[in-house]
Structure 1
Amino acid sequence: MIRLKPRLKTAADMVRDGSRVADIGTDHAYLPAALILSGKIPSAVAADLRKGPLENALETVRSNHIEDRVQLRLSDGLKCVSPDDADDIVIAGMGGILISEILTAAEWVKNEKYKLILQPQSHDEDVRRYLFGNGFEITDEEVCFEDGKVYICLGAVYTGSVASHSEAEIMFGSILSRNDEAAEAFKNKKLKRITARLSALNAHGGDEGEKERLEAIIKEVKKWQE
């Protein structure tokens, strides 16, 4: 068995039982291997942009004797994954802007049969902005600690309905209403970044529109903290 660290375990927990998984940016293929070995999923596509990580993935697959259940693909995002390959799509270990670009390039993910499990290393607000603006509903949102850092993971399904959201909701998601230790660490980290940006704008006479937007976010977050 493969014991996943908290970051990947959070993503694995969002995968639906019995689904076929496409793991984009698979690296060592620990996630699909662990899911298969636990009996949660029957098969997976493990894709990565570079040959080095795929060689690591091949070693994981061979050492766990699951060659017949994992397909390894050299792929730029979802370009070498077909709509019939998977039910759940995991994209982890990259920035939110890149994740959004990968999804934008694969229009076929806009289908209610798929579940997206997304774990941006940064700029998670860009992922939410993409999801909210393209008819997806965020069904799961979890934060965890690993090696002193806080990570967020989002689960989403396509509904076709586009709803408006406040800037604070886009920035923090459902974590805004939570007060557990990991959620507080996540909010404080983002608030620090927002406050630093606002201070820089005030010091150098920056864009008034951006200043108003950041001030509104801080105000809404403080309301939730009261």
Structure 2
Amino acid sequence: MNEQTLSRRLERVAAHVPAGARLADIGSDHGYLPVALMLRGQIDYAVAGEVAQTPFHSAQRNVRKNGLDERVTVRLADGLAAITPADRIDTISLCGMGGETMCEIFQRGQPYLNGQQRLILQPNGGERELRTWLMDNGYQIVHEELLRENRFDYEIIVAVPGAGIQYTEQELFFGPRLLEARSEPFLAKWRRVLRQRQQTLAHFEHAQEVPQDKAREFARQVEWINQVLG
């Protein structure tokens, strides 16, 4: 990647950042996303938040090298604590961390959420837990997409405030918008997962001690996946 070229995964995240946004990219990983979007003229202002020293200093260098010190603020902070009211943030992105970690960041960072921000999320696993948190905390999932990069499946979830939305267990598991569209990458992912779950259940049958809760959960997932794949 260079300053204006992002990975395919981050390009899909960037596609959902509104023009003229005031973006907070939390866990910014060297500031790649805000720097690229600012150089393209897509956003007005950005905060790059990092909790670790090494990527924090790397983001600072990246911002300074591109002459963006006045428009991209790099802050060393835990999660959403990187945001101040003066930033007037309207879009928040979190990418490349587990869904459970994202839930923890949002839970701890509730005071920094103003009930109006668009959330653009790219979890590495834990998607069901993340969707459940969004539903339980007054967010509506307006877009989802799935892409495969370097032999990994990545899901992108875009959510906006929308109280009273209820999703079924299957929608939380597969993703309501992904389930609706049933794209080829989506179907291909679940064919792979189905094979893995079936192999695990077969292993359970010959194992000495089997965690019954896990076996029942996997069996239920296999049933859901078979229904989706038809």
TM-score using structure 1 length: 0.88
Farther-moved stretch of structure 1 (176-185 vs 15-24): 176-185
Q: How does 1:45-194 map to 2 (within 5 A)?
A: 45-85=47-87, 86-108=89-111, 111-166=114-169, 168-173=170-175, 174-194=177-197
Cα contact 1:18–1:41 (8 A) shared by 2: yes
Say yes or no: does 1:220 pair with 2:224.
yes
Aligned partner of residue 16 in structure 1, secondary structure: coil
Contiguous gaps of at least 5 residues in structure 1: none
Aligned partner of residue 139 in structure 1, secondary structure: strand
Residue of 20, 25, 43 corresponding to 1:23: 25
Cα contact 2:144–2:178 (8 A) shared by 1: yes
RMSD, matched Cα = 2.3
Farther-moved stretch of structure 1 (148-157 vs 90-99): 148-157
Cα contact 2:56–2:76 (8 A) shared by 1: yes
Aligned length: 225
Aligned partner of residue 75 in structure 2, secondary structure: strand
Cα contact 2:146–2:156 (8 A) shared by 1: yes
Distance 1:18 1:133, change over 3 A: same
Cα contact 2:204–2:215 (8 A) shared by 1: yes
TM-score using structure 2 length: 0.86
Cα contact 2:51–2:78 (8 A) shared by 1: yes
**Alignment identity in percent?**
32
